[in-house]
Structure formats: C-alpha cells, structure tokens
Amino acid sequence: MRRLLVAGLACALVVPTAMARTIPSPNQRPAPGNEEPQTPIAEAGYSNHVNYELQCAGCHLGDGMGSKANDVPRMKDFVGNFLKVEGGREFLIRVPGMSMSALNDAQLASLVNWLMRPDGMAGASVPEHFKPFTREEVAAVRHKAMLNLPGTRAKLIAQMRTQGIEINDGMDD
C-alpha cells in the first residue's frame, strides 16, 4: 500500500511538469515565413495546375492515373466521357472531391475546363462540342449533395457502355 501511495505521489508531482511543456510560451513567435496567416485557396489566385495539385492529385495522382487499390478512378484520357451521358456533367461538379474542395465556384469551373482541354487530363475523351463550365453553372449544382456516389457513377458508366464507350477508368483492369 505504501508503494502505491509513493507511486501516486510521484505521478502527481511529475504530471504538472509534463503538462507545462505542452503549453506554449506566451513569448513564442511564428517560424520565419509564417508570420502572416495563410491566404485561403479560394482567394489565392493559384493557376489551374497548382489547384489540381492541391485539390485533386492527392487521390487521382499528379498524372491523373488514379489508384484502383484506393478505389480512385483514372481521369487521364477518360473523365471527358462523363460529358457524353445524361447527368454526367453535373456528376463532375458534384463528386465530393470537387464539390467540397476549397476552391470557389469560378476556380472550380476553370479547373474542370482546364482538365477538359484537348491537351489536358481528359484528352480525346472530351466530346467534340464541349461547352465550358461557368461559375454560375458550378454554383447551381455543386451544393446538391450526392447521396450515393457509387450508384450514381455506376449508372453513368452503364450509359457509357450502352453508347459503346470503352471504359478505361482503371477500376475494371
């Protein structure tokens, strides 16, 4: 019993010292370069390429190849096919990575249009008469929650198959 009391007393004396180390010093200063608060991405004015790297590449990878192991479809040379089926245009804006990104509506429209360029991520998968996304269009659909992402995507893929579009999204390889 005595040992237990001594151990408890020792812990009581050590804990405040340990906890004190977790409380920052009131004289602590930011690291060099961090003196000012970071500018939010929606206000930063980054290029589309930088916005892609910050908002998309973490999952779809820098080259857009995705990762089947992580259940992330390939965008490279495929994502434009969504524009060929009913509901696909809205789907591209409503997928969680887009709709919940830190980008504002104009930046999101610009990023998707950048992806859809003939020399962009979507490549030849973009329909011939692609109509660029607008800020207004993005604002109108982005905040409508997609409650069943896998089911919605499966329906769109089925429509693509009906049209004879080859599905090379990396998920069935």
Domain count, the chain: 1
Residue 86 domain-assigned (yes or no): yes
Give me the residues paired with residue 72 across strands.
67
Q: Where are the alpha helices (DSSP H) in 67-143?
A: 88-94, 96-99, 105-115, 135-141
Q: What is the pTM of this model?
A: 0.78
Nearest Cα to 166, choosing from 74, 97, 99, 91?
Answer: 74
Where do we find the tokens 């887009």? Answer: 98
Residue 7 domain-assigned (yes or no): no
To which H or E segment does residue 6 belong?
helix 2-20
Residue 8 domain-assigned (yes or no): no
Note the pLDDT tens digit of each residue in 81-117.
999 999 999 999 999 989 999 999 999 999 999 999 9
Q: Where are the alpha helices (DSSP H) in 21-104?
A: 41-44, 48-55, 57-60, 88-94, 96-99
Residue 171 domain-assigned (yes or no): no
Give me the residues paired with residue 67 across strands.
72
Residue 129 domain-assigned (yes or no): yes
Residue 157 domain-assigned (yes or no): yes
Residue 96 domain-assigned (yes or no): yes
- What are φ and ψ of residue 92, in 5° steps? -60, -30
Q: Range of 129's domain? A: 79-162
Predicted confidence pLDDT, tens digits, the chain (173 residues):
778 777 776 666 666 555 555 677 788 888 888 888 888 888 989 999 999 999 998 889 889 898 888 888 999 999 999 999 999 999 999 999 899 999 999 999 999 999 999 899 999 999 999 999 999 999 999 999 899 999 999 999 999 999 999 998 888 75
Note the pLDDT tens digit of each residue in 72-81.
899 999 999 9
CA distance 119 to 53: 17
Residue 56 domain-assigned (yes or no): no
